[in-house]
Amino acid sequence: MISEEIQRVAAAAGRSLGVKIPVQLDHPDRPDHGDYATNWPLLAFSRLKKQRPELTNPLDLAKLLTLKLPPIKGVTRVTAAPPGFVNFWLAPDYLLAQAAAILDEEKFRQQLAKIGHGKTVVIDYSAPNIAKSFGIGHLRSTNIGQAIYNLYRLLGWRTIGDNHLGDWGTQFGRLIYMIKSKKVPLDKLTVAKLEELYVEFHHRVAKNPRLEEEGRRWFRRLEEGDREAKRIWQACVRVSRAEFDRIYRLLGVKIDYALGESYYYFQGWMDQVLTDARRRRLLQKSRGALVMKLPGLEVPAMLVKSDGATTYLLRDLATIKFRVQKWHPDLIVYEVGGEQRLHFQQVFLAAEQLGYISRRQLVHLGHGLIRSRRGKFSTRQGRTLHLEEVINEGLRRARQLVKRSGQNLSPAEKEAVAQAVAIGGIKFNDLKQEIQRDIVFDWEKILAIEGYSAPYLQYTYARGRSILTRGDVVKTARLPARLNGEELALLRTYYQFPEVLISAASQFAPHFLAQYLFQLAQKFNLFYQKHRVLGLADQKRTQFRLFLTQVTTVILRLGLETLGIQPLEKM
């Protein structure tokens, strides 16, 4: 990459001036500051001013550095700028070549895939709880997790998605107790019914705290292999999984594995963790429970409860042991809400103490929660927001909008567009901003059709495609003698695409990609507004603009697909 070349050459020039600090490059905010900039002279000045008193300020040093720089292929201009930056302009023919490289899509993908070749990442995401409806929080995990998965995959990593279903634990003891005490027929179970039972259980506990004991007792019996308990548990899992599958189909999401927590019970992985812990003398008895003390944490990690039943934490440790043995991952990423930060801190420390994996290879992406303007959505307060409601409202609005489309769409096409717009909007709402922040749920925002939104990107793509279906397919183009501002602005955006993908992946920040796509779309729309593409007297110009349109649509398509959003040919 040219950025590395600039860094290398500039660092060498810097050394010849007597300062050994690496050259950091960034993209300046303003176009008149070039395509890359470095603050190297500002950093170097304080070190150098003692030895070189003739340098009175960082700008002098910047000027000196530009003089020392040999020509760099692809760089057309280097300038020193106050208070002490060096700016680099890329040559238009270099920019054109980079754009053309993207159009050779297969080769472009191969180039990207070299970046992470040979590395493996396990991504733990979505993870809805059996016997509860698919809430908007799990939707967020699903959307972000899938985007991270797609990013790493595009960059050549071997990616393993695991939907760590919440299908084991004390809540099943509670449900089994409720189902038995209310004599609910198992063939009549629905997710709604289960959720109702769960809420009712909490109401009853409020009056009679001893009921918690009943829940724990039934979970322990489930773990001890009680046949009746197991039969009821299986029925719960069956209805829930059918429901989740339906939702994943709606969302267009497919996760490689859905082993679930129960897998680690049935396969005996939890026992192995306990054995490992004993062998390493990490287990302690505390208030009747088995716990591990962890360095730097006051609260010990509980592996086994005082009644002998297993904990969430033990299952997470078993999961790590399993994943390490099966896939040998370089990285395990957990896309789980930020309220579990302490839990994962415990898990990661414990896994390291057990010798399974280094803490540095474990990442918890704690996304912020989605809350209403008034506060948190809460199952117990009956203030939940079901995904289904959100999707239905999105579809309703999108259908209204599609009705007014000037395009000649068949009813089936209209429905497909409405779905892509509604689902795309919902996903984009989760991906458009930094993930650790809370999101204030807002219908107008989640289903926005203007501005920084999925439909805006889909629309821009459709516009571009519409031109391309009328023009010739161009794979490359010649640079016109003079580029106008809008053409140049587009060319100066394309080469950044791979950089954006890399930083979005390495910083687990899908919003970097979302913002880049939006900026690209804005530039294309301005270009589109001011200039015609087709039917120009200057045919070479038409060819060149077709090329720009083509590159724009390819990036938009790849980018949207990576975010899990469907691009639309017409809408």
Partner RNA sequence: GCCUCUGUAGCUCAACGGAGAGAGCACUGGUCUUCGGAACCAGGGAUGGGGGUUCGAUUCCCUCCAGAGGCACCA
CB atoms within 10 A of CB 62: 27
Q: Which stretch binds RNA (CB under 7 A): 115-123, 181-189, 310-318, 475-483?
A: 310-318
**Residue 120 CB, nearest approach to RNA (Å):** 25
Extract the tokens encoding 536: 């120009």
Q: 104 exposed, middle or buried (CB, 10 Å; 0-12, 13-18, 19+)?
A: middle
Tokens 């899992």 map to which residue?
A: 237
d(CA 336, CA 123) in angstroms, rounded, equals: 10
Among 305, 321, 323, 492, binds RNA (CB under 7 A): 305
d(CA 432, CA 425) in angstroms, rounded, equals: 10
34/559 with CB nearer RNA:
34
Among 183, 406, 412, 537, binds RNA (CB under 7 A): 406
**Contacts to RNA from residues 213-232, by CB under 7 A:** 215-216, 219
- Residue spans of alpha helices (H) in 69-135: 92-103, 105-115
Between the alpha carbon of residue 4 and those of residues 36, 80, 94, 110, 126, the distances in Å are 11, 20, 15, 20, 37
Q: What angle do CA 367, 132, 301 make, to 5 degrees?
A: 55
**Contacts to RNA from residues 537-566, by CB under 7 A:** none
Q: Which stretch binds RNA (CB under 7 A): 76-84, 189-197, 384-392, 473-481?
A: 76-84
Q: Does 371 bind RNA (CB under 7 A)?
A: yes
Find the helix packing angle between 211-223 and 191-207, rounded to 10°.
Answer: 130
Q: Does 401 bind RNA (CB under 7 A)?
A: yes
Alpha-carbon Rg for the chain in angstroms: 28
Q: Does 369 bind RNA (CB under 7 A)?
A: yes
120/433 with CB nearer RNA:
433
Q: Which stretch binds RNA (CB under 7 A): 97-105, 180-188, 242-250, 287-295?
A: 287-295
Q: Does 145 bind RNA (CB under 7 A)?
A: no
Among 466, 483, 488, 506, binds RNA (CB under 7 A): 466
**Contacts to RNA from residues 153-182, by CB under 7 A:** 166, 168-171
d(CA 444, CA 209) in angstroms, rounded, equals: 42
Q: Which stretch binds RNA (CB under 7 A): 64-72, 79-87, 144-152, 353-361?
A: 79-87
Q: Which stretch binds RNA (CB under 7 A): 12-20, 144-152, 251-259, 340-348?
A: 340-348
DSSP, residue by residue, 285-299: EETTEEEE--TT-SS
**Residue 213 CB, nearest approach to RNA (Å):** 9
Between the alpha carbon of residue 448 and those of residues 427, 440, 456, the distances in Å are 12, 14, 9
Extract the tokens encoding 167: 């299908």
Q: Which residues pair with residue 291 across a beta bridge? A: 284, 302
**Contacts to RNA from residues 500-519, by CB under 7 A:** 509, 511, 515, 518
d(CA 430, CA 451) in angstroms, rounded, equals: 16
Q: Does 456 bind RNA (CB under 7 A)?
A: yes
d(CA 534, CA 546) in angstroms, rounded, equals: 8
Tokens 């000196």 map to which residue?
A: 64
Q: Does 480 bind RNA (CB under 7 A)?
A: no
Extract the tokens encoding 42: 């500002």
46/234 with CB nearer RNA:
46
185/451 with CB nearer RNA:
451
Show the site string, 247-286: x = touches RNA by CB under 7 A, - = not. --------------x------------------------x
Cβ atoms of 447 and 421 closer than 8 Å: no
**Contacts to RNA from residues 17-36, by CB under 7 A:** 24, 26, 28-30, 33-34
Extract the tokens encoding 261: 């927590």
Q: Which stretch binds RNA (CB under 7 A): 75-83, 104-112, 323-331, 383-391?
A: 75-83
d(CA 370, CA 17) in angstroms, rounded, equals: 53
Cβ atoms of 524 and 457 closer than 8 Å: no
**Residue 273 CB, nearest approach to RNA (Å):** 15
Q: What angle do CA 340, 344, 349 make, to 5 degrees?
A: 155
Q: Does 84 bind RNA (CB under 7 A)?
A: yes
Q: Does 434 bind RNA (CB under 7 A)?
A: yes
Number of residues this chain uses to bind RNA (CB under 7 A): 111
Q: Does 37 bind RNA (CB under 7 A)?
A: yes
d(CA 315, CA 263) in angstroms, rounded, equals: 9
Q: Does 42 bind RNA (CB under 7 A)?
A: yes
Among 163, 311, 493, 562, binds RNA (CB under 7 A): 311
d(CA 439, CA 367) in angstroms, rounded, equals: 9
**Contacts to RNA from residues 313-332, by CB under 7 A:** 315
**Residue 329 CB, nearest approach to RNA (Å):** 21
44/332 with CB nearer RNA:
44
Among 532, 539, 540, 561, binds RNA (CB under 7 A): 532
**Residue 81 CB, nearest approach to RNA (Å):** 4
